[in-house]
């Protein structure tokens, strides 16, 4: 079994939001990407065993007019959702509880390298210092409000920059690793 690690791969606006004031994501496509550069996503997802995402992000992805984009198990965190829609019950699995218990359950199934997604979910992992790596892509737009990626951290967490890359001449992507 591979060493457990929890990774973030997310895009933010210059002012640090992951969704705009209307919960919209159209600004993610603000920079034309005619050759469909995956901006490191394929390389990132290859090293991942499973995803852990908050209910809001799960519902956002379900609402996209595309096929289900993941070929790895998706663990959805929710207190409100009672069941995963039948259409996705082989692909997504509901979990709740404290993060330690949630991670134990996922690790016991053999999935150790995890992609953590969703604003509230990422923040709750950071609050317990459970994020090991973050790839943050900055879209060159100021949204002026919306859902912030970071806030409410109880203590300082130091990271080191391990890689920095610019995609389509406009989008910077910084890879950080937690210094423990």
Ligand X SMILES: NC(=O)c1ccc[n+]([C@@H]2O[C@H](COP(=O)([O-])OP(=O)(O)OC[C@H]3O[C@@H](n4cnc5c(N)ncnc54)[C@H](OP(=O)(O)O)[C@@H]3O)[C@@H](O)[C@H]2O)c1
The footprint of ligand X (CB under 6 A) covers 10-11, 18-19, 23, 25, 28, 53-57, 60, 77-81, 96, 99, 117-121, 124, 147
In the bound complex, what is the minimum distance in angstroms from residue 122's beta carbon to ligand X?
7
For the four alpha carbons of 84, 149, 20 and 11, in that order, the dihedral sign comes to negative
Beta bridge partners of residue 11, listed in sequence order: 137
How many residues does the structure list for the chain?
180
If the CB atoms of residues 50 and 54 are measured against ligand X, the closer one turns out to be: 54
**Shortest spacing between CB 15 and ligand X, in angstroms:** 13
- Containing H/E element for 35? none
The least CB distance from residue 125 to ligand X, in Å, is: 9
Instruction: Please identify, using beta-carbon distances, which residue of 6 and 57 lies nearer to ligand X.
Output: 57
Nearer to ligand X, 147 or 173 (CB): 147
Least gap, CB of 132 to ligand X (angstroms): 18
Q: Which residue's CB comes closest to ligand X?
A: 54
- Count CA within 13 A, CB hemisphere, residue 40: 20
Strand ranges (DSSP E) for 26-158?
50-54, 74-77, 92-95, 113-117, 133-139, 147-148
């Amino acid at each position: 079994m591979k060493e457990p690690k929890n990774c973030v791969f997310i895009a933010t606006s210059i002012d640090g939001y992951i969704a705009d004031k209307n919960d919209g994501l159209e600004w993610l496509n603000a920079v034309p990407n005619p050759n469909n550069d995956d901006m490191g996503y394929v390389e990132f997802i290859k090293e991942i065993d499973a995803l852990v995402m908050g209910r809001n992000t799960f519902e956002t992805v379900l609402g996209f007019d595309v096929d289900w984009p993941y070929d790895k198990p998706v663990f959805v965190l929710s207190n409100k959702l009672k069941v995963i829609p039948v259409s996705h019950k082989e692909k997504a699995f509901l979990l709740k509880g404290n993060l330690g218990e949630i991670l134990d359950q996922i690790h016991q199934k053999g999935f150790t390298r995890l992609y953590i997604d969703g604003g509230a979910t990422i923040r709750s992992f950071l609050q317990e210092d459970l994020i090991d790596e973050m790839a943050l892509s900055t879209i060159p737009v100021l949204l002026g409000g919306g859902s912030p990626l970071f806030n409410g951290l109880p203590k300082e967490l130091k990271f080191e920059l391990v890689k920095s890359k610019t995609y389509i001449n406009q989008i910077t992507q910084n890879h950080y690793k937690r210094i423990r």
